[in-house]
Amino acid sequence: MKGTLFGLGVGPGDPELLTLKAVRLLGRTTVIAYPAPLEGDSMARSIAAAHLPAGAEEIALRLPFDPAKRADDVYDAGAVAIAGHLAAGRDVAVLCEGDPLFYGSFLYLLARLAGRFPVEVVPGVSSMMACAAALGHPLTARDDALVVIPAPRPEEEIERLLAGAEAAAIMKLGRHLPKVWRVLSRLGLAEQAVYIERVGLPNQRIRPLAEAVLDPAPPYFAMILVHRRGKAWN
Ligand SMILES: C[S@@+](CC[C@H](N)C(=O)[O-])C[C@H]1O[C@@H](n2cnc3c(N)ncnc32)[C@H](O)[C@@H]1O
The CATH number that applies at residue 222 is: 3.30.950.10
Catalytic residue among 2, 66, 69, 91: 69
Q: Is there a catalytic annotation at residue 69?
A: yes
The rounded percent of the chain whose pLDDT value lies above 90 is: 96
Mean pLDDT, the chain, integer? 96
Å from CA of 44 to ligand 1 middle: 11
Residue 109 sits in the same domain as residue 135: no
Alpha carbon nearest to ligand 1 atom 10, residue: 172
> Residue 67's pLDDT is what?
62
> Residue 70's pLDDT is what?
79
Mean pLDDT of 176-194: 97
Long-range Cβ contacts of 158-165 (<8 Å, 24+ apart): 158/183, 159/183, 159/186, 159/187, 162/187, 162/189, 162/226, 163/187, 165/228
> Residue 49's pLDDT is what?
96
DSSP state of 149: E
The rounded percent of the chain whose pLDDT value lies above 70 is: 99
Residues 6+ apart with CB under 8 A from 41: none
Mean pLDDT of 161-176: 96
Is 155 a domain residue? yes
Choice from 171, 195, 197, 224 to test ligand 1 binding pocket (greatest atom count within 8 A of CB): 171
pLDDT tens-place string over residues 193-217: 999 999 999 999 999 999 999 999 9
> Residue 159's pLDDT is what?
98
Residue 71 sits in the same domain as residue 166: no
d(CA 122, CA 26): 11
Mean pLDDT of 169-197: 97
Domain count, the chain: 2
Å from CA of 221 to ligand 1 middle: 6
Residues 6+ apart with CB under 8 A from 164: 147
The terminus-to-terminus CA distance of the chain in angstroms comes to 56
Is 234 a domain residue? no
Mean pLDDT of 154-182: 97
Residue 140 sits in the same domain as residue 80: no
d(CA 56, CA 30): 5
Residues 6+ apart with CB under 8 A from 43: 13, 97, 221
Q: Is there a catalytic annotation at residue 231?
A: no
